[in-house]
Structure 1
Amino acid sequence: MSKPYTAQQFSEAVPVQASDAAIRFEAVSKTFPARGGGAAVPALADLDLAVPAGSILGVIGRSGAGKSTLIRLVNGLEKPTGGRVVVDGTEVSALDEAGLRDVRRRVGMIFQHFNLLSSRTAYDNVALPLEIGGVPQATIQSRVGPLLELVGLADKRNRYPAELSGGQKQRVGIARALATQPKVLLSDEATSALDPETTRSILDLLSSINKELGLTILLITHEMSVIRAVAKEVAVLDGGRVVEHGEVFDVFTRPRHPTTRSFLSSETGHALPPFLRERLRPDASPGSETAIRILFRGRHATDPVVSQLTRDFGLDVNILSGSVDEIAGRPFGTLVVGLKADAPTIERVLSFLTSRDLDAEVIGHVS
């Protein structure tokens, strides 16, 4: 039996300097030529983005936002119209075909639909890029077996894709992407074709690979739940531009751009339950309560706010909805309360809450 694939073995080929950016997009633009007499199609516009070495950065955007173009620039499948794409210190956008072949050995990629060869076993699919690269058979054998162990498929080495589940196929795809010992792993909607439970297991595997091997991962997705599960940073792409970028916790708990807010509408803390949405009105009416949404983050995330409001303001606090969760290992919660109070009192309540680093806003009125 082959030995497990260790971080030391991988790091001999993949030295990681966490302070450096593994991938840099510098004022990158990409315009596709017009077809059939139509106008040229701008895919990316003056885009700046850095992916720290050893991190997982998730890029999220709607269809047509430029995600696929962005990831294809990294391995030279597309060339920018303007700007620079730098991977591991090499300007990919300036390379000829021979130079691109060298970069692609340092950049692994996993795909939404696996892209396995049906006529080859799991072992042979993983070995394929090494065979194409002219790697000796002894080296191939010493590398492929441990990679199959790493992704939990040591007992499936002789199975063909038709005999594997979707999750197992994707694990083969991940092992194949790691075969050339890359420094960067690109994930293009790699979980979109999988069920939720399998998606979770694949994301756990990517997180483990990132931690154990120090591999930089650029992850493209249209699902905030994927970003939340595995990424350390997130960049939101809209119309070919990065409209928001930061640590996952900060972006999730304080989204600034409307596109980000729309993606978060189904995430914990951002969606109101249907029964509350139906009762919510923009204007006050006789006997109605002012509905205030409080987001708990930071050092006061676990403070007993309801009892403080009752004690300090002499108010009856009606809890309309709420949840408590964890994002990026830090507590985060939301609470919607109803208060019967005049406008000056509501303003004092909002000031009290914001002074404790809690986000608070009036979202309407409930009869």
Structure 2
Amino acid sequence: MTLNPASHPPAYPSATPPALIQLREVEKTYGGRAGSNAVTALHTITLDVPKGAILGVIGRSGAGKSTLIRLVNGLEQPTRGQVIVDGVEMSALDERALRHERRAIGMIFQHFNLLARRTAFDNVALPLEIAGASRAEIKARVMPLLDLVGLADKARRYPAELSGGQKQRVGIARALATNPKVLLSDEATSALDPETTEQILTLLRRVNAELDLTILLITHEMSVIKSVTDRVAVIDGGRIVEEGPTFDLFTRPQHPTTRSFVSSITGNELPAHLASRLSAKPLAGSQVLVRLTFTGGDASQPFLSVLTRKLDIDLGIIQGNVDYIGGHPFGTLVVSTPADQNCLQALTDASRDLGLHVEVLGYVA
């Protein structure tokens, strides 16, 4: 099986494809019987995963990420709402029909879940054996999959003889064995070192691009979101608080939780000695701190020089960074200038004229 490398996830600049996975007003509550207190893990979740997309769901521990993914593959049933995969309402199926539909949903796990007494070949073959495939059919499917994930020479090795990255590659091959339409990834890289993580993410991008496979990826690592997804949903306290194209959420985060995640990976966090001294109102002799965000092909332009010459003011550089999200550059620059309202307004107007996003962070003495 031959794949052409894909350096970046697909983008949808003009229109979003139809959703392959749909969650409609989904709620999941545990407990509440025999005197126990009910715990609501998910609150009225509505989410679409476009066909062929890699959508990441990011949140802190306990935010509801794993519950969400278990609803998609039918391991959990919603208390309320609908879970629809490729037009089939998973939450309305009986157990037999659910088993049949699960063949179109592949799953990879944080801790690999390989059977220790089965070889790499036999682990990948397991879903096909359960589905009743013949030995010839199994061999014709498994060996190309092991070749796809770069493990054709490890077919007869046991999990104990494989590295963590190799085990996860076997897990990916196994998830693809039944030729699924959807691949679910539940913290699949969090047990791996950074170099191996990047290799696994590169493989997921290739699989997505070449097999047109829709991927729903659960993670608490913003670096994973940045590297592989083209859309992202931020979950906090069982609610989706923000959702959209990855580039948009990185460059224009709206919710405080999103801003916190983004700042941890883009270097947008102010130094602690400044953040602790910020005031919402100007003080005598204070400076105003302004974050300028620039995106796309203009990210490498000398905006600071242009602004300084145009306004004839001194701008102090507090912090600066240029990064790439989905192959597109964006940069941030935090500058300081005297806390004069006329000066601030002039800086704001001139920056916006240059296509920059302007955010006043506060005042510091």
TM norm structure 2: 0.91
For 1:268, give the aligned amino acid: T
What pairs with 1:37-48 in structure 2 (closer than 5 Å)? 37-48=35-46
Work out whether residues 141 and 177 of structure 2, in 8 Å CA contact, stay in contact via their aligned partners in 1.
Answer: yes
Partner deviation per Cα, 1:187-237 (whole Å, 9 max, x = no partner)? 000011111111111111101100011100000011111111000100111
For 1:49, give the aligned amino acid: L
Q: CA deviation at 1:341?
A: 5.7
Work out whether residues 228 and 248 of structure 1, in 8 Å CA contact, stay in contact via their aligned partners in 2.
Answer: yes
Unpaired segments of 5 or more residues in structure 1? 8-17
Other-structure match for 1:263 = 261
Other-structure match for 1:12 = none
Q: CA deviation at 1:290?
A: 2.6
Q: Secondary structure of the residue that 1:315 maps to in structure 2?
A: coil
Q: CA deviation at 1:20?
A: 2.3
For 1:22, give the aligned amino acid: L
Partner deviation per Cα, 1:171-190 (whole Å, 9 max, x = no partner)? 00000000011000000000
Partner deviation per Cα, 1:26-50 (whole Å, 9 max, x = no partner)? 1111111236622111111221111
What pairs with 1:1-367 in structure 2 (closer than 5 Å)? 4=1, 19-34=17-32, 37-274=35-272, 276-277=274-275, 288-298=286-296, 300-340=298-338, 342-365=340-363
Work out whether residues 203 and 229 of structure 1, in 8 Å CA contact, stay in contact via their aligned partners in 2.
Answer: yes
Name the CA distance, whole Å, in 2 between partners of 1:132 and 1:170: 21
Change (3 A) 1:287 1:33: closer
Name the CA distance, whole Å, in 2 between partners of 1:36 and 1:273: 51
Name the CA distance, whole Å, in 1 between partners of 2:210 and 2:351: 41
Change (3 A) 1:341 1:257: closer
How many residues of Structure 1 are paired with residues of Structure 2 in the alignment?
Answer: 354
Name the CA distance, whole Å, in 2 between partners of 1:326 and 1:354: 22
Name the CA distance, whole Å, in 2 between partners of 1:227 and 1:63: 16
For 1:82, give the aligned amino acid: R
Name the CA distance, whole Å, in 1 between partners of 2:44 and 2:361: 36
Moved more, 348-357 or 25-34: 348-357
Q: Secondary structure of the residue that 1:296 maps to in structure 2?
A: strand
Q: CA deviation at 1:107?
A: 0.2
Q: Secondary structure of the residue that 2:35 maps to in structure 1?
A: coil
Q: Secondary structure of the residue that 1:191 maps to in structure 2?
A: coil
Q: Secondary structure of the residue that 2:58 maps to in structure 1?
A: strand
Work out whether residues 295 and 332 of structure 1, in 8 Å CA contact, stay in contact via their aligned partners in 2.
Answer: yes
For 2:178, give the aligned amino acid: T
Q: CA deviation at 1:81?
A: 1.1
Q: Secondary structure of the residue that 1:267 maps to in structure 2?
A: helix
Unpaired segments of 5 or more residues in structure 2? 5-15
Work out whether residues 300 and 356 of structure 1, in 8 Å CA contact, stay in contact via their aligned partners in 2.
Answer: no
Name the CA distance, whole Å, in 1 between partners of 2:158 and 2:42: 39
Q: Secondary structure of the residue that 2:41 maps to in structure 1?
A: strand
Name the CA distance, whole Å, in 2 between partners of 1:39 and 1:161: 42
Moved more, 100-109 or 58-67: 58-67
Give identity over the alignment, percent. 61
Name the CA distance, whole Å, in 1 between partners of 2:28 and 2:364: 49
Q: CA deviation at 1:297?
A: 2.0
For the aligned residue pairs, the C-alpha RMSD in angstroms reads 2.0
Q: Secondary structure of the residue that 2:127 maps to in structure 1?
A: helix
Name the CA distance, whole Å, in 2 between partners of 1:326 and 1:276: 26
For 1:104, give the aligned amino acid: R
Q: CA deviation at 1:333?
A: 0.5
Q: CA deviation at 1:304?
A: 2.5
Name the CA distance, whole Å, in 2 between partners of 1:147 and 1:300: 42
Work out whether residues 307 and 351 of structure 2, in 8 Å CA contact, stay in contact via their aligned partners in 1.
Answer: no
Change (3 A) 1:305 1:25: same
Name the CA distance, whole Å, in 1 between partners of 2:40 and 2:202: 35
Q: Secondary structure of the residue that 1:187 maps to in structure 2?
A: strand
For 2:103, give the aligned amino acid: R
Moved more, 284-293 or 26-35: 284-293
Q: Secondary structure of the residue that 2:266 maps to in structure 1?
A: coil
Q: Secondary structure of the residue that 2:179 maps to in structure 1?
A: coil
Q: CA deviation at 1:343?
A: 2.1
Name the CA distance, whole Å, in 1 between partners of 2:333 and 2:100: 53
Work out whether residues 338 and 366 of structure 1, in 8 Å CA contact, stay in contact via their aligned partners in 2.
Answer: no
TM norm structure 1: 0.91
Name the CA distance, whole Å, in 2 between partners of 1:145 and 1:362: 57
Name the CA distance, whole Å, in 1 between partners of 2:320 and 2:196: 29
For 2:179, give the aligned amino acid: Q
